[in-house]
Structure 1
Amino acid sequence: MKVVHTSDWHLGQQFYEHNRYEEHQAFLNWLAKELVEVDADLLVVSGDIYHTATPPATAEQQLYAFIKHVKVVSPHLHIVIIAGNHDSANRIETAKPLLQQFDTHVVGKYDKHAPEEVVKLINTRCGAVQVVAMPFLRSADMAQVDGDESGYALAVQQAYQSAYEQISDKSLPVITLGHLHAKGGDISTDSERNITIGGFDSIHADVFGDTPDYVALGHLHKAQKVANNEAIRYSGTPFPMSFSERNYKHQILLIEFSGKQVREVTPRFVPRHKQVILLPEKGGATLDELCQNIEGLELPTDEEVPKPYLRLRLNANETDSQFRHKIEQALAGKRVHFCGIERVSQVTDNEDTPLFEDLSKVNDLAPLTLLELAYKEQIDKESALPQELQACLETVLVALNEQGEL
């Protein structure tokens, strides 16, 4: 049996205000061909199908058109999709009756009173497989969560255990899906969002237990193994979600089973549809240096080749008040999607890591950190933030996420 693992498509996302529809469609077209080439039996998508809880209609149409097309070119293929933290659980669930006609199973939410609903028995041409399709877990979805890290991890573990108890035939291979931050995983802070407060969504790989033969994870954008385990993996995003991800090796994963045994896991690298350019690669540059670098860019002249994304890093101590005008002049006639300018200052002469003086970085501040600062400033500088306030913040964040406001 051949299984393809992918995640974090983020359909509907705009990249610095540039529409990515064409880029997303290029990936979906490539994926359909890959599924045929590897002769896949099962496709699992581990969350964040969409970029927001209220995606544009074009993004939903892309997903449904892909499923319809792939069932034509690979009629034996089965598909399992779970909701991620960017997705609306209700929106994902709404399409369930329709998608079942295309051998596609979608799970938007986990009901602690009906754990059997996340367990899917898939009958492929190579035999049956049990898929534990666990979507992104919010505290409200699970049993009582204590106000600490171990409490959240225990609740997640109990959710998985409750699902495993619904598996009737233990002789079949088990594939477990999840959308979460496993401890030790490399995170892209520019584009990955943690909405469970306190960092409690970072949990140990032990929560998956010994039942699954392969764990297909989503949420972290870099393809990687978890706990150095070949059978617990993030597939990562199929394209960069930020400039910090420009050097990622974007891929899908092909998992080949022999019975319950994972025989081999092979990355299938996704071709880069649009290049992502950061000038300079490290640190900042003077205005003159930036203009020279722009002039020296080797850009595609063929109108059929997509324009690359370009973002510039200007030294923070640059004093020329005409810098924007001069950069615009340097960019005139260049076939690029311009993604703005970052003001950069070095901590020390030997420091490679820049500090970004960019107002957009305010979005990176954790809501819990802001609440803690406000509490100490306005209420009690000596005491820790009460658990009740943390719980209230989590409720608000979850509600905003469902409404697409985060």
Structure 2
Amino acid sequence: MRFIHTADWHLGNQMHDIDRKEEYEAFFRFLKTKIVEKEAESLIVAGDVFDTVNPSLEARRLYYTFLASLVESPCKNVIIVGGNHDSSALLDSAKELLEVLNIRVVGSISNLSFSEMCFELKNSKGEVSGICMALPFVRELELRNILDEKSKKIEDADLYSLSYKKLYDVLFAEAEKLKAGRNIPLIATGHLYASDLDGRLSEKKSNEKTDDGMKVLDVLGTLGAVPPSVFPKVDYVALGHIHYATMVAKNPSVRYSGSPFVMGFDEANLSHGFLCVTIDEKKSLSVEKIESPHTFIYRRISLSLSEIKNELERLKKIGGDKKTFLELYYKKEIGVNAQEYLDEEIRSLPENISVVSWKIAESEKSFFSSGFENFDASEIKNLDDKSVFTELILSKSGLEAESEEGKAALEKFLPLFMKIAGEA
């Protein structure tokens, strides 16, 4: 059997207010083309279909239009599970209708028996070619409810390993019943953070930073780590949540597909796409990584201000017609306003190139290096809300209070901060 493993579409995402409709539509056209080209009989989407629990009408249209387009394709089975960004109620709302098209949706484990989370996968001849045990993202309260009363008092560190182990064990038993001794592959899904990953998050703890200056916690959110030992002995485990393709514990049959899209400039240098998985009659596994089309270009320019100026000049001369979005990741220089310094080069960029994000390099961005270095702890405690928020806004934007941009930023954001502070 052959199937496509994808995840983390985050439909509706508008990173830095970029309209990504064109990018999403191009991806879905490409994905359908690859499904036809590879003759993939199944599509597995391992969570985070949408970016928010209340996605826009346009995001929903993209989702349903793509699913409808698969009806005449070789893809005869679609398995979609909910992720931590998804509304399980929204995903499940159309499940009965989608089942008519053999599209199986499991938004959450609530109100489902384990047998209802296991599905036969059929080929173009209508023959059963595999079994999928579809496990979505499981929230902490649901994890605790899986354990018995005595086990509910366990520490958080053990909650994920014990509850996921029990979940997968019970699901595996149900899938084996459905398999009924047939020589067909067994596939599992999951939307979680597994430990022992290769690449960007390899051997890093939540308070450590990745190679691009991002804290691991910023990448993962607050999901607890699930050890590799919880996964069942199946032919393939299709995972979602991590935005780059990687194996778990170097096991080629337990993988994250990664997101097909850049979700932040810290991900701009990563490969984005999906996986085409083939399992033959002897249960031999073959995995092909397929890179997404580069409809838009995202790039972080991480240099000194003078080097950034030279790079902007170079980009202006190169030209090109693809929409290009830049983040300027710079080292703050005393007495230099970055936006004023680079203003002329930015204004002269071609129409298709935009600077949408400014970021002070992580090493320069500590709280006490951005306006508080002359205060001791007791003085900081005496600052009022307005003073703290003013320093925070200037620090995050890399602006000076006296500059026009700094004044505009304060005028825009300070009232919002003060309103929130008042409500809190």
Query: TM-score, length-normalised on structure 2?
Result: 0.74
Q: Give the Å deviation of 1:299.
A: 6.9
Structure 1: runs of 5+ lacking an equivalent: 345-353, 360-406
> 1:208 maps to what in 2?
231
Shift in alpha-carbon separation, 1:20–1:330, aligned structure 2, 3 A: same
Higher relative contact order (Cα pairs below 8 Å, separated by 6+ residues): 1
Q: Give the Å deviation of 1:306.
A: 3.0
Aligned pairs (5 A) from 1:237-386:
237-259=259-281, 261-280=283-302, 284-286=303-305, 288-297=306-315, 301=319, 305-321=321-337, 323-334=338-349, 335-344=352-361, 354-355=362-363, 357=365
Q: Give the Å deviation of 1:151.
A: 2.7
Shift in alpha-carbon separation, 1:121–1:312, aligned structure 2, 3 A: same
Work out the percentage of aligned pairs sharing the same amino acid. Answer: 27
Q: Give the Å deviation of 1:356.
A: 5.3
1:236 to 258, 262, 266: 258
Asked whether the 8 Å contact 1:343–1:358 carries over to 2, the reply is no
Asked whether the 8 Å contact 1:130–1:175 carries over to 2, the reply is yes
Q: Give the Å deviation of 1:11.
A: 0.7
CA distance in 1, matches of 2:343, 2:97: 49
Q: Give the Å deviation of 1:48.
A: 0.6
CA distance in 2, matches of 1:50, 1:299: 38
Asked whether the 8 Å contact 1:239–1:272 carries over to 2, the reply is no
Q: How many residues are paired up?
A: 337
Letter matched to residue 159 of structure 2: G
Asked whether the 8 Å contact 2:13–2:51 carries over to 1, the reply is yes
Asked whether the 8 Å contact 1:255–1:262 carries over to 2, the reply is no
Shift in alpha-carbon separation, 1:71–1:129, aligned structure 2, 3 A: same
Asked whether the 8 Å contact 2:331–2:364 carries over to 1, the reply is no
1:152 to 148, 160, 168: 160
CA distance in 2, matches of 1:301, 1:102: 45
Asked whether the 8 Å contact 2:98–2:104 carries over to 1, the reply is yes
- Deviation per CA, 1:234-257: give whole Å up to 9, x if none: 110112211221221222111112
Structure 2: runs of 5+ lacking an equivalent: 202-209, 368-424
Helix, strand or coil at the partner of 1:19: coil
Q: Give the Å deviation of 1:277.
A: 1.8
- Deviation per CA, 1:294-333: give whole Å up to 9, x if none: 111157756xx33111011232224124x32342321114
Helix, strand or coil at the partner of 1:102: coil
Q: Give the Å deviation of 1:194.
A: 2.4
CA distance in 1, matches of 2:275, 2:222: 27
Matched, 1:61 2:80: no
Q: Give the Å deviation of 1:100.
A: 1.3
> 1:194 maps to what in 2?
221
CA distance in 2, matches of 1:268, 1:56: 28
CA distance in 2, matches of 1:23, 1:192: 22
Shift in alpha-carbon separation, 1:337–1:358, aligned structure 2, 3 A: farther
Aligned pairs (5 A) from 1:112-191:
114-125=113-124, 127-142=128-143, 143-144=146-147, 145=152, 146-167=154-175, 168=177, 169-171=180-182, 172-185=184-197, 186-187=200-201, 189=214
Higher helix share: 2
Q: Give the Å deviation of 1:207.
A: 0.6
RMSD: 2.2
CA distance in 1, matches of 2:95, 2:67: 13
CA distance in 1, matches of 2:142, 2:317: 49
- Deviation per CA, 1:181-234: give whole Å up to 9, x if none: 1102244757634234xxxx2111111122x11001111111011111111111
